[in-house]
Chains A and B, each alone.
Chain A
C-alpha cells in the first residue's frame, strides 16, 4: 500500500529557532513528486515546497528547505528562523505520475511556535 508517515503529531519550537518535521513514504514507483503543505487555522491549504524525485538537489524556498533522501524514502522539512505565522498543521504528500495519479497525504504535524 502507498503510504505517507509523519511520525510527529505535534512539535513546538522557540521563535527564531530551527525545527525539522519528518516524513517518510512508501512507494515502488520511480517517478513522483513530493510536497509539504501548510494548513493554518483558516483551513486553507498552502503549498510550502515541492520536490521532484528525479532531482538530487534539495529544494529550498526562503526559510524552508527539505532533506530528500530517495533511497531511504525520507522527505523532511526544515524551517529556519521560525516565526509566529509558521504555526499551523503541516502535511507531507506525494504524487505518483503514472496512470493512477493518486495524491496521498500524511496525517500531519501540528507545529506550535513559542514566543
Chain B
C-alpha cells in the first residue's frame, strides 16, 4: 500500500543521547515535512524539504537535524541539544503541483520520551 511509514512508534531517549526518527514514503512526493506536537501547541514545523539534498529550517529547528539523501526518505535526528524533546512527532509529504496534489499526507507519528 502507498503511504508514509514512521518508525519507531515509541522511542525512549536517555539524557545526552541522540536519537533518529525514520520517515519513509512511497508516494513519489517531492516535499517532506517534520512537525512536533505538544499539548495545546498544535503542530509546529521543525524542518521541511522540497527536493533531494535540500532542506530548510522551520519554526523550531534548534536541537534537530535532518537529511534528504533520497526522495523517499527524510529522517529526523533529535540531538542532545534539544532540551525538551518529549513530544509526538509527525512526518508528512506532498507533491508540489496544483489541484488535489496539494493535499498533505501524514504518517502515524512517533512518540519520543526522555527518561
Contact = CB atoms under 8 A, between A and B. Distances in A.
Chain A contact residues, majority secondary structure: loop
B2 interface: no
A44 B106 contact: yes
A26 to B, nearest CB: 14
A97 B56 CA distance: 15
Interface residues of B, number: 26
A82 B5 CA distance: 31
Contacts of A52: 102
Contacts of B96: 97, 101
B102 A33 contact: yes
Contact of A108 (B42, B45, B106): B42
B42 A43 contact: no
Interface string B71-110: 0000000000000000010101010101010111010110
Nearest to B88: A43
Interface residues of A, number: 24
A100 B90 CA distance: 20
B113 to A, nearest CB: 15
Interface stretch (B20-28, B33-41, B60-68): B33-41
A101 B108 contact: no
Given A35-B104, A97-B102, A101-B48, A107 B31 contact: no
Interface of B: 31, 33, 35, 40-45, 48, 50, 56, 58, 88, 90, 92, 94, 96, 98, 100, 102-104, 106, 108-109
6 contacts: A9-B40, A33-B102, A35-B104, A45-B92, A103-B33, A105-B43
